[in-house]
Amino acid sequence: MIKNRNILVTGGNSGIGFFAIINLLKKKNNLYVVIKNELRKNQFMKTLEKYFDNNYLSKFLNIIENCDLSDLKNIKKIKDYFISKKIFLDVVVLNAGLQYTGSIYPKVSKQGIELTFAVNHLAHFYLVNILKDFVKDKEESKIIITSSDVHDPKSSGGNIGKKAGLNNLVDFRKKVTGQFLNFNADEAYKNSKLCNILFAKELEKKLKMSSSKISVITWAPGLVIPNDDSGFFRYSKRFNLFGYLIFSKAAKNILGISESTENAGKILSEIVLDANLNNVGFIYLSNKLKARKKHKLVESNVSDEANSDELASKLWILSEEICRSFGFVTLNI
């Protein structure tokens, strides 16, 4: 097994990303973890110290701190970090994500972009664009994006509530900047996961045109419900705590349809390390429910909309335009 891979992780201080980091650290990889602020960093380190001693952590763990991904200007900090350290990456794990289903009003980023789109898609789009030259062009190199089956209106989660749909990007810019037309927090999350896949497909196409060996892997962890107040549901719980508690109890204990955070994190670390996923171009993997409390990661089809090469290209161009409108120029991949 290859050790000492250089791995960048967003969304690693809690939830799925946290348990992925534990597994990757155990295998003696060099982890570079983007963390939003000092409070999150301190909580992260305190929890990690239950698993590793400080000497071990100082050898393999590196924190890129005070880097709030919702603010595009912070993302250049990540590039500057790797320039200053003269470090090249083997794997980039784009796992940061948020949702605040239940909110009536949109939250916005420093640039005034709807927060779900800003963090789940645009930050990662911009990050990959400016970091591409720091990813080694080797068969084992990967860019991994955490998406969700809810991007597909036909999926069991995607067909509940308002469904994902970009409507060929008609008025989409107005939905995510400025006017926030017909805002719906649930739809915003599902659309961001659809954007993840469209971005991944267009990225892989552009990499292939330059004969790059880097694989672009999207994956859906399934319905993951944490046992604490950290991680993915920390925002949406605020809007309907009673409903969330009933839903989570039923999903975990009665229906057995949810996946544990620990298992989902383990799967993510396995995607990073699995040699069978080297040099695969683009692939979408889904952690499918096979029986009560039993899941299996399988290669899956994306939705019809996510499969549109034309839409993927248009989303890429729109994402570039939005970045540029705030003074953040992307590079041509």
pLDDT at 244 over 50: no
Whether 248 is in a domain gets the answer yes
Which domain range does residue 228 map to? 6-325
pLDDT range class, residue 237, cuts 50, 70, 90: very low
Domain count, the chain: 1
Is 279 inside a domain boundary? Answer: yes
Cα dihedral 107, 199, 68, 72, rounded to 10, equals -90
Q: Is residue 120 within 8 Å of 196, Cβ to Cβ?
A: yes
Task: State what percent of residues in the chain have pLDDT above 70.
Answer: 87
pLDDT attached to residue 224 = 63
Residue 1 lies in a domain: no
Going edge to edge, which strands form the sheet with 294-299? 61-64, 30-34, 6-10, 91-94, 142-146, 215-220, 282-291, 294-299
The pLDDT assigned to 228 comes to: 54
Q: Strand pairing partners for 219? A: 146, 285
pLDDT class for 310, splitting at 50, 70, 90? very high
Task: Report pLDDT for 333.
Answer: 79
Is residue 333, in this structure, part of any structural domain at all?
no
What does the pLDDT look like over 9-59, one tens digit per residue? 999 999 999 999 999 999 999 999 999 999 999 999 999 999 999 999 999
**Domain of residue 71, CATH code:** 3.40.50.720
For residue 74, tell me if it sits in a domain: yes
Does 140 fall in a domain? yes
What is the structure's pLDDT at 129? 96
- Is residue 332, in this structure, part of any structural domain at all? no
Given a cut of 80, whether residue 308 has pLDDT beyond it is yes
| CB under 8 A, 24+ apart: contacts of 67-70 | 67/34, 67/35, 67/36, 68/36, 68/37, 68/110, 69/10, 69/34, 69/36, 69/96, 69/118, 69/119, 69/123, 69/124, 69/127, 70/109, 70/110, 70/115, 70/118, 70/119, 70/123
